[in-house]
Amino acid sequence: MDRYVYAFTEGGRDMADLLGGKGANLAEMTRMGLPVPPGFTVTTEACRAFLATGTEPDSLAREISDHLTALEEAAGRRLGQPDDPLLLSVRSGARFSMPGMMETILDIGLNDESVLGLAKTSGNERFAWDSYRRLLQMFGSTVMGVDSALFETVMARLKEARGAVDDLGLDTADLAGLVEAYKELIRQETGEYFPQSPAEQLRQAVLAVFESWNGERARLYRRREHIPDDLGTAVNVQTMVFGNLGPESGSGVAFTRDPATGARGVYGDYLPNAQGEDVVAGIRNTVPLDELGRLNPEAFAQLGDHMRTLETHYRDLCDIEFTIERGRLWMLQTRVGKRTAEAAFAIAAELVDEGLITTEEGLARVSGDGLARLMFPRFDTSAVGDALAHGIPASPGAAVGAAVFDSAEAVRRAATGEKVVLVRQETTPDDLPGMVAAQAVLTSRGGKTSHAAVVARGMGKVCVCGAEEIAVDPQERRFTVGGTTVEEGTVVSVDGSEGAVYAGAAPLVDSAVMRYFETGEASAGLVDAVDGAMRQADGVRRLGVRANADTPEDAARARRFGAEGIGLCRTEHMFLGDRRQLVEAMILARTDTERERSLKALLPLQRQDFIGILEAMDGLPVTIRLLDPPLHEFLPDRTELAVRLAAAEAHGSPPSTHDAELLDAVNRMHEENPMLGLRGVRLGLVAPGLVAMQVRAIAEAVVERKRAGGDPRAEIMVPLIDTVEELRLVREEVEQVLAEVSTHSGVPVECPIGTMIELPRAALTAGRIAEEAQFFSFGTNDLTQTTWGFSRDDVEAAFFSTYLDKGIFKVSPFETIDRDGVGRLVQIAVAEGRAARPGLKIGVCGEHGGDPDSVHYFHAVGLDYVSCSPFRVPVARLEAGRAAL
Ligand code: PEP
Ligand code: MG
């Protein structure tokens, strides 16, 4: 038979699915012999059964009653016993922490009689009536559905009448009066009486917690955090202990180390004469935990012992909630605590040093995302004071600028060189120009997958979204938060790594981690911890890590960052700037001679580029891709040209023949879908001499590097292959040029010739293609675009936020590899490619090569290397190591 309730003495931390995180950890602490007020947990399974059917499972009431009896026997008093009541707290606790999203009801068991008993046994009448009014308030709003603001209003009126500034200004008689007023309020609002039966209170409270799983707040939170909707919550029923019984009592929260920096030592806040709820709600100001050492040295020392015990047991940073009741310490909650990226590295390194965890475990506890965050400059928060507001850290980095409230203003001010921060309730595709112009984007609504977040991440722009405390008023062009108003033009600082906004220009500090990667010098502290993790990752990873780089500078940086070669050198980037005209001339050439002339002019320029890159990557492979994008990208805009010609005609001046020719060429080459048009290998097959010129530049660069005593390792890669026939034709041409340069120079030039696999047909026919290809590199950008039929340039801004909100996918497939679809093509191509050519070298050079989740996938499907932008190289190294654990 199903069992729905477990005493704390029966569970353990490995039962979090059933008991929720909180219940499992309460059970674990109970087992460890720590002072946990006794109680029991109603399982998530009971919640699921209740939510599915709308009624509680048959055996639940009996099980709860049995466990309650056991509690009562152990305590020697009954729930709500009139002369000496046992009181209970009822709290939610799901598998994954959902802070503040569900319900808590304290002081279950109080009624008109037992309040008098509590007053007597506690010797504190005021406390008893205050507890009763708290129960009425929580029970009334949570269980009986009375608007909680109505309770606040009654209380506020009373305080005003008494001239009291806070709750402490109300005396026993006031609180007893408040109890009557609350009971009456409940009756008026619901037509029902507050249940005087303690057992009935308990039953209803448990069901209310179940129901809170489907509350609007909770559902929204789950969607944001990608927590499944069908898990349900457990309910923890626990004997009340009281931190509000006088100065000898109090409540606090604590961490076994500093969760911001990882520094050793106990950190936390303490609030004398208060319940845990008061600490979290921030009603009164807490004192640093150290103060407890002065107030109650014994409890403080005990707390320290317990925390060390917990950290050793959990082998990780723990956070806890505790209460001291008349000098006696009680542990109310613990869990492995959240921490910043910096603390994650520092703590992992220290725990390894302390011998508490293995080096592998240390590596598992840090992440590429965390590392990426540490590579950005940050604000010196010690110099800025409190944040103005907090939101969701949606896109990392730190930026300073004048607040502006619409896209047009952002563009206008940015054009004058002013730095701006675009502040919106939420962004839409109309805000794009403003987002491009801004240093950072700040929104008051929306989560990590909102339009602002998705687009900002795509652009590498700092973004904080869902900063709900701020009220944005685009009409008045200002936002308000607390008592502060920020008018348009006021400078603010946005920390996209931590999700914070500051008033004024916060001072920036460079990233020590970035400096470490640039210089290779490890020092103490965080950098040392990062260094250790990188070494560990490099020691275990099987995937190679290369960089996408097309200048000698990028190549050199990539190498400093640990790249083991270049996986993609995009040669089109070498045709920009001044060279555009040469390309234009090549495209416009009317005769072979004219075309050859412009190709000849390009040749030495390209050769020089390749020499620089091969030198920077001496001894390491450099995969050079032949020209890929549509040629018309090198020509002027069609509309602009037409307007220019029309304007000339309108002024009666003779039309420029150059412009006329250009327009003619642009018209001839215009494509409706250039991404699916004349690009990649197709270009090389259609434009005579283009492939030969590029290959000659590569080969001559190799010769030159060899003559200089270098060890150039160029590889030639053909883009956008659909069929093996295309590759065969190009390969013949490439080999011919390589042979010519070898013969002519007397220096042997051997470059492996491979292909990108970036179209579904290529993946599906990879076995054939491998007969002609010496290596494969997955172009997962195009492969994603063509598998999904999503234009990679348009869809993210156009409709991805809607898709993400609707849960069609959890993350953009351009960011993280779509394992089911695109991944399947990758697997087919790997299997069939290697079957045809054993040992075929296979990498990936799409954006996914630097995405942590995708790196794990590429490891799993047996690629040889990933290639990503130089700044992502350390992230890929770290994740490749973690993938190998
Ligand atoms: C790709 O398509 O994944 C790729 C690396 O090539 P590009 O992004 O240049 O099209
Ligand atoms: Mg591509």
Distances (CA, A) of 621 to 164, 568, 618, 716, 880: 76, 10, 8, 10, 19
User: Residue 285 and residue 298: Cα distance in Å, rounded?
Assistant: 23
572 CB near ligand 1 (under 6 Å): no
The response to whether 294 counts as a known ligand-binding position is no
Question: Does residue 401 lie within any of the structural domains?
Answer: yes
Is residue 473 exposed (0-12), middle (13-18) or buried (19+ Cβ within 10 Å)?
A: middle
Model pLDDT, residue 851: 95
Distance 719 CA to ligand 1 centre (A): 9
Comparing 595 with 423, the larger pLDDT belongs to 423
Q: What is the CATH number of the domain that holds 285?
A: 3.30.470.20
Question: Does residue 15 lie within any of the structural domains?
Answer: no
With the C-alpha atoms ordered 194, 195, 198, 204, is the resulting torsion angle positive or negative?
A: negative
3-state secondary structure of 722: coil
Residue-wise pLDDT tens digits, 753-765: 999 999 999 999 9
Binned at pLDDT 50, 70 and 90, residue 227 comes out as confident
User: Residue 275 and residue 285: Cα distance in Å, rounded?
Assistant: 13
* 441 and 316 belong to one structural domain: no
780 CB near ligand 1 (under 6 Å): yes
Model pLDDT, residue 282: 59
Q: Which of 208-217, 224-233, 600-609, 778-787 has the lowest mean pLDDT?
A: 224-233
Angle at 322 between CA 319 and CA 328, to 5 degrees: 145
573 CB near ligand 1 (under 6 Å): no
* 217 and 257 belong to one structural domain: no
User: Residue 441 and residue 392: Cα distance in Å, rounded?
Assistant: 12
With the C-alpha atoms ordered 776, 779, 784, 787, is the resulting torsion angle positive or negative?
A: negative
Q: Which of 550, 568, 683 to mutate to test the pocket of ligand 1 (most atoms within 8 A of CB)?
A: 568
Give the number of the atom of ligand 1 that is nearest the alpha carbon of residue 719.
6
Q: Which of 182-191, 591-600, 738-747 has the lowest mean pLDDT?
A: 591-600
Is residue 430 exposed (0-12), middle (13-18) or buried (19+ Cβ within 10 Å)?
A: exposed
Give the number of the atom of ligand 1 that is nearest the alpha carbon of residue 758.
2
567 φ, ψ (degrees, to nearest 5)? -95, -20
792 CB near ligand 1 (under 6 Å): no
The owner of tokens 């940015």 is: 414
* 120 and 160 belong to one structural domain: yes
Residue 781 CA, distance from chain mean position: 21
ipTM surpassing 0.95: yes
Lookup: tokens for 383: 């110099």
Percent share of the chain, pLDDT over 90? 72
Pairing label, strands 88-94, 233-239? antiparallel
User: Residue 308 and residue 614: Cα distance in Å, rounded?
Assistant: 54
570 CB near ligand 1 (under 6 Å): yes
> How many separate domains does the chain show?
4
Model pLDDT, residue 662: 84
Lookup: tokens for 284: 């009164």
Residue with the nearest Cα to atom 9 of ligand 1? 570
Model pLDDT, residue 660: 84
Phi-psi region at 506: left, alpha or beta (left = phi > 0; alpha = psi -120 to 50): beta
The response to whether 781 counts as a known ligand-binding position is yes
Lookup: tokens for 450: 């909102």
The owner of tokens 């013949």 is: 732
Distance 681 CA to ligand 2 centre (A): 11
Query: Residue ranges of the alpha helices (H) in 475-589?
Result: 512-519, 525-540, 552-560, 580-588
Comparing 345 with 170, the larger pLDDT belongs to 345
Question: Does residue 19 lie within any of the structural domains?
Answer: no
Distances (CA, A) of 328 to 251, 294, 616: 11, 15, 67
Q: Which of 782, 865, 869 to mutate to test the pocket of ligand 1 (most atoms within 8 A of CB)?
A: 782
* 391 and 324 belong to one structural domain: no
* 314 and 430 belong to one structural domain: no
Q: For the stretch 350-388, what's the b/e string if a residue is b when 16 or more beta carbons lie within 10 angstroms of its beta carbon?
A: bbbeeeebebeebbebbbbebbbbbbbebbebeebeebb
* 720 and 787 belong to one structural domain: yes
DSSP string, 646-678: HHHHHTTPPPPHHHHHHHHHHHHH--SSGGGSS
Q: For the stretch 172-199, what's the b/e string if a residue is b when 16 or more beta carbons lie within 10 angstroms of its beta carbon?
A: eebbbbbbebbbebbeeeeeeebbeebb
118 CB near ligand 1 (under 6 Å): no
| Domain of residue 114, residue span | 71-239
* 556 and 440 belong to one structural domain: no
Is residue 101 exposed (0-12), middle (13-18) or buried (19+ Cβ within 10 Å)?
A: buried
End position of a domain, from candidates 488, 509, 530: 509
The whole-number average pLDDT for the span 620-625 is 98
Distance 781 CA to ligand 1 centre (A): 5
* 682 and 726 belong to one structural domain: yes
CB distance 27 to 43 below 8 Å: no
The response to whether 779 counts as a known ligand-binding position is yes
Residue with the nearest Cα to atom 10 of ligand 1? 782
Is residue 461 exposed (0-12), middle (13-18) or buried (19+ Cβ within 10 Å)?
A: buried
Give the number of the atom of ligand 1 that is nearest the alpha carbon of residue 845.
5
End position of a domain, from candidates 336, 359, 385: 336
Ligand nearest to the CA of 720: 2
The response to whether 117 counts as a known ligand-binding position is no
Residue-wise pLDDT tens digits, 518-572: 998 877 789 999 999 999 999 999 999 999 999 999 999 999 999 999 999 999 8
* 466 and 428 belong to one structural domain: yes
Model pLDDT, residue 169: 84
816 CB near ligand 1 (under 6 Å): no
Binned at pLDDT 50, 70 and 90, residue 81 comes out as very high
The response to whether 570 counts as a known ligand-binding position is yes
Q: What is the CATH number of the domain that holds 687?
A: 3.20.20.60
Distance 605 CA to ligand 1 centre (A): 23
* 264 and 231 belong to one structural domain: no
User: Residue 822 and residue 830: Cα distance in Å, rounded?
Assistant: 12
Distance 787 CA to ligand 1 centre (A): 14
Mean pLDDT, the chain, rounded, equals: 92
The amino acid that residue 736 corresponds to is Q
Question: Does residue 502 lie within any of the structural domains?
Answer: yes
Give the environment of ion ligand 2: residues with CB less than 5 A.
758, 779, 782
User: Residue 686 and residue 282: Cα distance in Å, rounded?
Assistant: 70
628 CB near ligand 1 (under 6 Å): yes
The owner of tokens 């609030």 is: 271
The amino acid that residue 484 corresponds to is T
633 CB near ligand 1 (under 6 Å): no
User: Residue 562 and residue 567: Cα distance in Å, rounded?
Assistant: 13
Q: Which of 571, 575, 628, 854 to mutate to test the pocket of ligand 1 (most atoms within 8 A of CB)?
A: 628
Model pLDDT, residue 281: 62
pTM value is: 0.85
Q: Which of 500-504, 509-513, 665-669, 837-841 has the lowest mean pLDDT?
A: 665-669
Lookup: tokens for 832: 């069939």
Model pLDDT, residue 449: 64
End position of a domain, from candidates 207, 239, 271: 239
Q: What is the CATH number of the domain that holds 202?
A: 1.20.80.30
Strand arrangement of the beta sheet that strand 500-503 belongs to: 389-390, 500-503, 491-495, 398-404, 420-424, 440-443, 462-465, 392-395
Model pLDDT, residue 178: 96
Question: Does residue 14 lie within any of the structural domains?
Answer: no
User: Residue 866 and residue 852: Cα distance in Å, rounded?
Assistant: 11
Q: What is the H or E stretch that residue 494 is in?
A: strand 491-495
User: Residue 155 and residue 177: Cα distance in Å, rounded?
Assistant: 10
Give the number of the atom of ligand 1 that is nearest the alpha carbon of residue 785.
2
- Per-state percent for the chain, helix, strand, coil, to nearest 5: 50, 15, 30
CB atoms under 10 Å from CB of 298, counted, come to 12
Question: Does residue 407 lie within any of the structural domains?
Answer: yes
* 84 and 189 belong to one structural domain: yes
Question: Does residue 360 lie within any of the structural domains?
Answer: no
* 387 and 266 belong to one structural domain: no
Distance 779 CA to ligand 1 centre (A): 5
Q: What residues are labeled active site?
A: 451, 845
866 CB near ligand 1 (under 6 Å): no
The response to whether 625 counts as a known ligand-binding position is yes
Question: Does residue 636 lie within any of the structural domains?
Answer: no
Residue-wise pLDDT tens digits, 437-474: 999 999 998 777 677 887 787 677 899 998 989 999 99
Distance 501 CA to ligand 1 centre (A): 36
Ligand nearest to the CA of 778: 1
779 CB near ligand 1 (under 6 Å): yes
CB contact set of 753 (below 8 Å; sequence gap of 6+): 715, 716, 717, 718, 731, 734, 735, 773, 774
CB atoms under 10 Å from CB of 759, counted, come to 23
Model pLDDT, residue 650: 86
Comparing 488 with 224, the larger pLDDT belongs to 488
Count, in order, helices (H) and strands (E) of the chain: 36, 31
Ligand nearest to the CA of 826: 1
Residue-wise pLDDT tens digits, 355-386: 999 999 999 999 999 999 899 888 987 777 88
Distance 758 CA to ligand 2 centre (A): 6
Q: Which of 572, 633, 845, 863 to mutate to test the pocket of ligand 1 (most atoms within 8 A of CB)?
A: 845
Lookup: tokens for 568: 């993609």
